[in-house]
Amino acid sequence: MRIRATVAAVSGALALASTAVPAAQASGKPGGSDLRTFAAAKAAADEAEGDTRITKVVVNGGKEIVLGTTATKTVTVAVTATDPSGIDDVFAVLWHGTDLETPGSVDGGVAQNEDRAKCTASSASPAVSTCKLTFTFDPVVDLWKNELAGTWKVAVGAMAKDEYGVVEEAITTTKVKRNARVTVNASPEPVKKGKTITVTGKLTRANWATSKYAGYTSQSVQLQFRKKGTGTYKTVKTVKSSSTGALKTTVKASTDGYWRYNFVGTSTTGKAVSTADFVDVK
């Protein structure tokens, strides 16, 4: 059936997106011929033959994908599909860009690790299967520029046992974000009750272009306090990071407890919470 050729063509073309990054990184230009091949697959995408339907796609358990500068991360994509004959296989690709029609409009992609998905038929209906695939992000290779942080699209194809199937190039999206780090230091310690405590720290985030961490400027960070003997942190005030990512503020000492900085994240950067710094109030 034609859909089998469609699945194979689109899967192969999308997979090329992940191999195009080293050349793009070296030249400073996104794409190259491999990504143009990826874009050319648009003509074959979003096709359906027969009764196959993709009913649900969950990326990384519904959580955002956050990466630092060097460590790889493997995430799972679960695809639920249905067909009267049963589901034989699925494929998926995570990709970044605007569309698949315009050459150079796709600048990133990560292909599945497996040759075939692991599919499990539903006990309630053999027509329905949930298939799982894994994807490994390598920030050094796959995330070659900071502009890749944000929304990624998910292309999915499903093949039924009767050789009919469906391909959808952007069935859902997921968030790929830069990792953030934040530190804290409260001093002096110990301190007399009613005296001033200075709480410093620094907010940094992964720079994928340099594979290093750098200060994250002009960001709102919560200064939080947990009284000794309790289990809940409360926000005391919000502090703005400086041009170097530095954090600094003062508070009055009232009771023994733990101080920390909490960064809630942005659309391109993940959350970060510092370790707690205990201050003994005399």
pLDDT at 127 exceeding the cut of 90: yes
Closest among 42, 41, 6 to 157, alpha carbons compared: 6
Higher pLDDT, 36 or 13: 13
> What is the percent of the chain where pLDDT is above 70?
83
Q: How confident is the model at residue 8 (pLDDT cuts 50, 70, 90)?
A: low
Examine the pLDDT at 112 and tell me if it is beyond 70.
Answer: yes
**Closest by alpha carbon to 4, among 116, 118, 165?**
165
Predicted TM-score of the model (pTM)? 0.86
Average pLDDT over every residue of 154-171: 92
Confidence at residue 140, expressed as pLDDT on a 0 to 100 scale: 96
pLDDT mean over 157-162:
93
Under the banding of pLDDT at 50, 70 and 90, the label for residue 204 is very high
Nearest residue to 134 via CA among 148, 115, 120, 147 = 115
Cβ distance 90 to 156 under 8 Å? Answer: yes
Give the phi and the psi of residue 193 in degrees, each rounded to 5. Answer: -60, 135
Q: What is the pLDDT of residue 45?
A: 52
Mean pLDDT of the chain: 87
Tens of pLDDT along 83-100? 999 999 999 999 999 876
Which pLDDT band, with edges at 50, 70 and 90, does 10 fall under?
low
20-66 pLDDT, tens digit each: 444 444 333 333 233 334 334 444 456 677 899 999 999 999 999 99
Taking residues 145-169, report their average pLDDT. Answer: 94
25: its two tokens: 């990184």
In DSSP notation, the chain reads -HHHHHHHHHHHHHHHHHHSHHHHHHHTSS-HHHHHHHHHGGGG-S-EETT-EEEEEEEGGG--EEE-SS--EEEEEEEEEE-TT-EEEEEEEEEEES-SSSTT-EEEEEE-S-SS-EEEE-SS-TTEEEEEEEEEE-TTTT--SGGG-EEEEEEEEEEETTS-EEEEEEEEEEEEEE-EEE--EEESSSB-TTSEEEEEEEEEEEETTTTEEEE--S-EEEEEEEETT----EEEEEEE--TTSEEEEEEE--SSEEEEEEE---SSB--EEPPPEEE-B-
Whether residue 6 is predicted with pLDDT greater than 70 in this model: the reply is no
Name the β-bridge partners of 177.
66
Q: Which of 164, 104, 112 is nearest to 133 (CA)?
A: 112
Residues 209-214 have a mean pLDDT of: 98
> Phi/psi of residue 10, each to 5°?
-70, -40
Average pLDDT over residues 170-190: 97
CA distance 47 to 248: 56
What is d(CA 198, CA 48) in angstroms, rounded to the nearest whole number? 63
Instruction: Specify the residue for token string 């490994």.
Output: 136
